[in-house]
Amino acid sequence: MHSPTTLNAWQALTQHQKDMSAVKMASLFKEDAQRAQKYSVNAAGWTLDYSKNRANEKTFSLLTELAKASGLENAIEGMFSGAHINNTEDRSVLHVALRASHAQDTLIVDGVNVLAEVRSTLKQMEQFVAQLHNGDWKGHTGKTITDVVSIGIGGSYLGPKVVAEALTPYKNDDIKVHLVANIDGSDITGKLKQLNAETTLFIVSSKTFGTLETLSNANAARDWFLRNGGSESGIRQHFAAVSSNVKKAVDFGMAEENIFPMWDWVGGRYSLWSAIGLPVAIAVGMDNFYALLDGAHQMDEHFRSAPFEENLPVIMGALGVWYINFHNAQTHALIPYDHYLRAMPAHIQQLDMESNGKANLLNGDGVETDTGPIIWGGAGTNGQHAYHQLLHQGTRLVPVDFIAPLASHNPIGDHHAQLFANCLSQSQALMVGKTLEQAEKELRDAGATDEQVAKIAPHKVIKGNRPSNTLLTDKMTPATVGALIALYEHRTFVQGTIWGINSFDQWGVELGKVLGTDIFNRLVSDSDNSALDASTQALIDAFKKAQS
């Protein structure tokens, strides 16, 4: 793999950016009455309107050429067929197999039919969820389970969290699902305070069963259970696990039949479709979980088969590259105009930043381009009263994805029309901005003096021409939520492929873990810290002093 900068399309895009620098999006709309239709595409229950971008036909044709020249077609096929595209860990990347159509029953990877394993795990989940919902699963004193606490972090937390929240209208009322992640004792303490040990079931979600935060919280939950009338033999009725490390889970006290498998071909941040999604399945039921998988599968099929010119993940990924590498955009904002989707930016942040926060090409050479942007965002309209000021008038270019359902699950008064109006007006304002002449006229019309106009008008100028995508769906359902998250997974892969990096390892996270263990040992012992930097020494001393 060579740097994408060596590709003709890259060089052509560099030149093209200069040609486009004076072009205003608003003029592109005036010149082409069909622009909105031309740059809208549907897939898996979603419509992407990408017409409000600093792009014309030539831009899109060069971006498509770039995607092709980077080997994206082969990369997609490699992923779906189980090639070891995670080259630094020598693994397949098969989250798509977790949601494969039931019409397909075989996918042999490294001599194993992974679909047989996926299906048997889904059956195991079905039984588990049914036992909880029909009250057959009893705690150690014979009482029915009322609360499930999922303990996990990173991908073993964020994906289930965003989906469980997004599907709030589909939740069953008979069992409450809680999620704990942070090693900060306040997280689990707050949750346990509300719970009864006789009627609570914990699911320890950890692919490795070796993650410090998760094990600390699992041990705290175990101690709490034992302190509150539980016994060692009762642990099997109150603890289950999702892990590829069965031995460690058994050593913890779980019954082997309550351990759900994970595989090394599923990355943590892509794992919500596996048994890591158990909290979702318990919250909304297995039928809705299957609908979620099916929605994601619809997006997979679209990604695999649609021409790049009509392919949502490819279009969104390529546009991201256009802004990051040719307009120096450092960040990308996700703004869902749906209260239940408010955690989505955090999940896509992990998905994208852990995947594409890389500085080496697949062959190990250093990259010559910027790679993954900072992903951020939050619920509209709340953000409008916080960070949108910077989107409109700040010095940085921030491409935005607006995400909105056409219908609300809670249609009260004119709330939804107001919410939707805000979504549309934000993308419109970002594009059209406000000229000095408009600002001056506005002030004059309001009765300002010439002196006031001269003083205030420049502050009211909004340059505009700021790009955004709008993603619309009829309603947030299990299927459309599944398709949306799969869209962002593939968008991440498209960008990683164009940059020539491995989107599926995460070696950078390891250094913090190793140093964290070393510092922890220093905090709890009388170690000689003189070889450490003076700042770290002083901070360790402050902690130790506070404990004494």
Catalytic residue ranges: 354, 385, 513
Give the DSSP per-residue string, 305-359.
HS-GGG-HHHHHHHHHHHHHHHS---EEEEEES-GGGTTHHHHHHHHHHHHH---
Stretch that binds ligand F6P, among 177-185, 204-212, 223-231, 433-441 (CB under 6 A): 204-212
Site string for ligand F6P, 209-248 (x = CB under 6 A): --x--x----------------------------------
Nearest-approach distance from CB 506 to ligand F6P, in angstroms = 5
- Burial state string for 390-429 with b = 16 or more CB within 10 A and e = fewer than 16: ebbeeeebbbbbbbbbeebbeeeeeebeebbebbeebbeb
Q: How many CB atoms lie within 10 A of CB 198?
A: 21
Q: For residue 207, state whether it binds ligand F6P (rule: CB under 6 A).
A: yes
Which residues within the stretch 148-167 sit at the binding site for ligand F6P (CB under 6 A)?
153-156
Q: State which of residues 208, 381, 422, 537 lies at the interface with ligand F6P (CB under 6 A).
A: 208
The residue whose Cβ lies closest to ligand F6P is 268
Q: How many CB atoms lie within 10 A of CB 220?
A: 18
Nearest-approach distance from CB 271 to ligand F6P, in angstroms = 7
Nearest-approach distance from CB 153 to ligand F6P, in angstroms = 5
Closest CA to 304 of 26, 104, 533: 104
Q: How many CB atoms lie within 10 A of CB 189?
A: 12
Give the DSSP per-residue string, 235-296.
HHHHEEEE-S-HHHHHHHT--GGGEE---TTS-GGG-TTTGGGHHHHHHH-HHHHHHHHHHH
Token pair of 331 as six digits: 């960040």
- The nearer residue to ligand F6P, 470 or 506, going by C-beta atoms, is 506
Nearest-approach distance from CB 509 to ligand F6P, in angstroms = 4
Nearest-approach distance from CB 260 to ligand F6P, in angstroms = 12
Site string for ligand F6P, 262-301 (x = CB under 6 A): ------xx--------------------------------
Dihedral sign of CA atoms 540, 542, 544, 547 in order: negative
Q: For residue 116, state whether it binds ligand F6P (rule: CB under 6 A).
A: no
Which residues within the stretch 496-515 sit at the binding site for ligand F6P (CB under 6 A)?
506, 509
Nearest-approach distance from CB 303 to ligand F6P, in angstroms = 22
Q: State which of residues 121, 206, 384, 408 lies at the interface with ligand F6P (CB under 6 A).
A: 206
121: cis peptide before it, omega within 30°?
no
Tell me, by CB under 6 A, how many residues bind ligand F6P: 14
Stretch that binds ligand F6P, among 193-201, 208-216, 437-445, 446-454 (CB under 6 A): 208-216
Which residues within the stretch 380-439 sit at the binding site for ligand F6P (CB under 6 A)?
none
Angle between the N-to-C axes of helices 507-523 and 212-227, in degrees from 0 to 180, rounded to the nearest 10: 50
Q: Helix or strand or coil: residue 46?
A: strand
Q: Which residues bind ligand F6P (CB under 6 A)?
A: 153-156, 206-208, 211, 214, 268-269, 354, 506, 509
